[in-house]
């Protein structure tokens, strides 16, 4: 993690601007590479045209350079370049315009329900408040809010390409499982996508890549027509094939560069989230929960749509050169270098037995008043149409995914863990060999998490070992 060229490898509340600049430079570098790639495609097509002309007029290939200098090809090359640019340009514009819908449309396609301004339900109220806070911190106008009620995973998105039609959405799993600080960090991350114009950047790249693909489509037509002409069609068939290869190689490289840019924008958004909240603990906590909880960042419903809109979600697990997000552990370690792979594994085991509960953590942290009767709302069993807000189902505490999916329910039948009643904090059940060297601490590691957490948890649990720490 010391590959960033700065003395301090950690994004903190003091050096986030450095990291933002680094990510912006990364974007610029990749954009230049992208333009270079488009230029290379044009050059490749020009070469193809020259070779074809040489073939048609029975000229030896080695004469091409001299003929080029003499100006034999000039007209043909100008035409070739113009038609390539025309095809790419028109197709790109077509794609950009067709994808230009407002963010609300996308949110509804993902199964989002709009959160009204005067919402009273507690988690939604808190969600609204947190978004308002970050709108103030970032100076971005308040977007429309959506919640994906049926999703038990932790994820969020920002959609829309203009500030006026931008929306923000979060899953029910995020509202229930993240504490206030973490939710705030996730929202701040999404806001920085809006503030940095990432949706527009992404739209542009998607459009141009589609445009390059247009070359491949035209190549396909040429090949089909050539096939119909039988033996006479062989030369044009080869021409079409080479054009097809150029088009697809262009698309491939375009996609790799676009994914690289997308990853840079994720780092930029992480660093901007630290700017807006002036702390990195919330974001690293949220990322840890995403990689740790059983439901992860997955969107259970609308999987196809999730694929299509993957680039604008908060978290995504796959790591490859086509990945739109950097690896989770890398993102976490940029925020908190003390977290290791083993810590994540430990938390995973811990949360598998006892899913995190954001509200109880807030109570423990002193950010919320205790309310033992607080019932968090649950994702509905199936995609519930017609019912805009599923009722909180009593007795059932944690998100319940559809049958067949192994989602652990550690406290079936057990009452809700009640703060201030001896067992206030997620605790592995007794007698279970849960590897936890430091009991009573929120995260299984002596890291730099604030004393506040240990102190408040400790106070509630009356843990004699920890009291000596203070």
Partner 1 sequence: MSTSLIIVIVIGVLLAGVFFWLIASYNSLVAVRNRYQNAFAQIDVQLQRRFDLIPNLIETVKKYMSHERETLEAVVAARSMAQAGLNAAKAQPGNPEVMAQLSTSEGQLNSVLGRLLAVAEGYPDLKASQNMMQLSEELTSTENKVAFARQGFNDSAMIYNTKRETFPTMIAAGIFGFKQASLLEIPVEKRHLVQEAPKVQF
CA dihedral angle for residue 386, residue 392, residue 395, residue 399, rounded to 10 degrees: 80
Shortest Cβ distance from residue 262 to partner 1 (Å)?
A: 25
Helix (H, G, I), strand (E, B), or coil: what is residue 145? strand
Our answer to whether residue 190 is catalytic in this structure is yes
Name the catalytic one among 190, 342, 349, 370: 190
Assess 164 for contact with partner 1 (CB under 8 A). no
Distance, CA of 404 to CA of 265 (rounded, Å): 36
Shortest Cβ distance from residue 193 to partner 1 (Å)?
A: 17
Instruction: Show the binding pattern over residues 335-374: x = contacts partner 1 (CB under 8 A), - = does not.
Output: -------------------------------xxxxxxxxx
Shortest Cβ distance from residue 450 to partner 1 (Å)?
A: 14
Assess 276 for contact with partner 1 (CB under 8 A). yes
Shortest Cβ distance from residue 65 to partner 1 (Å)?
A: 36
Assess 192 for contact with partner 1 (CB under 8 A). no
CA dihedral angle for residue 23, residue 24, residue 30, residue 35, rounded to 10 degrees: 170
Token pair, residue 301, equals: 């419903």
**Cβ pair 178, 408 in contact under 8 A:** no
* CB proximity list for 232: less than 8 A, separation 6 or greater: none
Distance, CA of 167 to CA of 107 (rounded, Å): 7
Token pair, residue 246, equals: 């150029």
Token pair, residue 133, equals: 């806070």
DSSP assignment of 182-214 equals: HHHHHHHHHHHHHHTTHHHHHHHHHHHHHHHHH
Q: Nearer to partner 1 by C-beta: 180 or 265? A: 180
Tell which positions 126-155 bind partner 1, by CB under 8 A: 126, 129-130, 132-134, 136-139
Token pair, residue 20, equals: 């933002």
Name the β-bridge partners of 148: 171
Shortest Cβ distance from residue 130 to partner 1 (Å)?
A: 7
Assess 464 for contact with partner 1 (CB under 8 A). no
The stretch among 108-116, 123-131, 324-332, 409-417 that binds partner 1 (CB under 8 A) is 123-131
Shortest Cβ distance from residue 121 to partner 1 (Å)?
A: 10
Assess 180 for contact with partner 1 (CB under 8 A). yes
Phi, psi of 354 (to 5 degrees): -140, 95
* CB proximity list for 101: less than 8 A, separation 6 or greater: none
Assess 63 for contact with partner 1 (CB under 8 A). no
Edge-to-edge order in the sheet of strand 167-171: 113-114, 144-148, 167-171, 156-159
Q: Nearer to partner 1 by C-beta: 180 or 325? A: 180
Assess 248 for contact with partner 1 (CB under 8 A). no
Catalytic residues: 190
Query: For binding to partner 1 (CB under 8 A), which residues are involved?
Result: 122, 125-126, 129-130, 132-134, 136-139, 180, 184, 275-276, 278, 366-374, 455-456, 459
């Amino acid at each position: 993690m010391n590959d960033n060229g700065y003395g301090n490898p950690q994004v903190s509340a003091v050096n986030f601007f450095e990291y933002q600049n680094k990510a912006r430079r990364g974007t610029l570098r990749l954009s230049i590479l992208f333009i270079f790639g488009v230029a290379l495609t044009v050059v490749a097509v020009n070469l193809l045209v020259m070779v074809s002309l040489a073939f048609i007029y029975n000229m030896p290939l080695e004469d091409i350079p001299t003929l080029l200098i003499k100006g034999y090809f000039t007209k043909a090359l100008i035409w070739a370049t113009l038609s390539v640019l025309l095809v790419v340009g028109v197709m790109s514009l077509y794609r950009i315009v067709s994808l230009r819908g407002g963010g609300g449309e996308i949110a509804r396609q993902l199964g989002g329900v709009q959160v009204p301004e005067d919402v009273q339900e507690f988690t939604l109220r808190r969600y609204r408040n947190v978004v308002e806070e970050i709108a103030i911190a970032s100076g971005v106008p308040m977007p429309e809010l959506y919640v994906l009620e049926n999703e038990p995973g932790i994820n969020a998105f920002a959609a829309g390409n203009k500030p006026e039609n931008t929306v923000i959405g979060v899953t029910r799993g995020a509202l229930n499982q993240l504490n206030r600080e973490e939710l705030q960090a996730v929202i701040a991350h999404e806001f920085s996508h809006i503030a940095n114009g990432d949706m527009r950047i992404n739209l542009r790249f998607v459009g141009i890549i589609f445009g390059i693909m247009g070359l491949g489509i035209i190549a396909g037509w040429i090949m089909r027509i050539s096939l119909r002409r039988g033996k006479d069609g062989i030369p044009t068939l080869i021409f079409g094939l080479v054009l097809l290869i150029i088009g697809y190689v262009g698309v491939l490289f375009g996609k790799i560069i676009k994914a690289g840019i997308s990853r840079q924008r994720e780092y930029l958004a992480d660093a901007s989230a630290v700017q807006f909240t002036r702390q990195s603990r919330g974001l690293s906590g949220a990322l840890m929960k995403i990689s740790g909880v059983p439901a992860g960042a997955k969107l259970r419903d609308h999987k196809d749509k999730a694929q299509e809109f993957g680039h604008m979600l908060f978290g995504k697990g796959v790591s490859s050169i086509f990945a739109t997000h950097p690896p989770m552990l890398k993102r976490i370690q940029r925020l908190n270098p003390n977290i290791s792979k083993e810590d994540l594994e430990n938390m995973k085991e811990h949360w598998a037995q006892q899913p995190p509960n954001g509200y109880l953590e807030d109570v423990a942290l002193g950010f919320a008043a205790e309310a033992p009767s607080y019932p968090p709302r649950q994702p509905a069993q199936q995609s519930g149409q017609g019912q805009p807000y599923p009722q909180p189902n009593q007795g059932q505490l944690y998100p319940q995914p559809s049958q067949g999916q192994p989602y652990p329910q550690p406290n079936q039948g057990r009452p809700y863990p009640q703060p201030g009643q001896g067992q206030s904090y997620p605790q592995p059940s007794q007698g279970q060999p849960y590897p936890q060297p430091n009991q009573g601490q929120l995260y299984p590691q002596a890291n730099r998490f604030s004393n506040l957490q240990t102190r408040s948890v400790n106070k509630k649990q009356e843990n004699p070992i920890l009291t000596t720490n203070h």
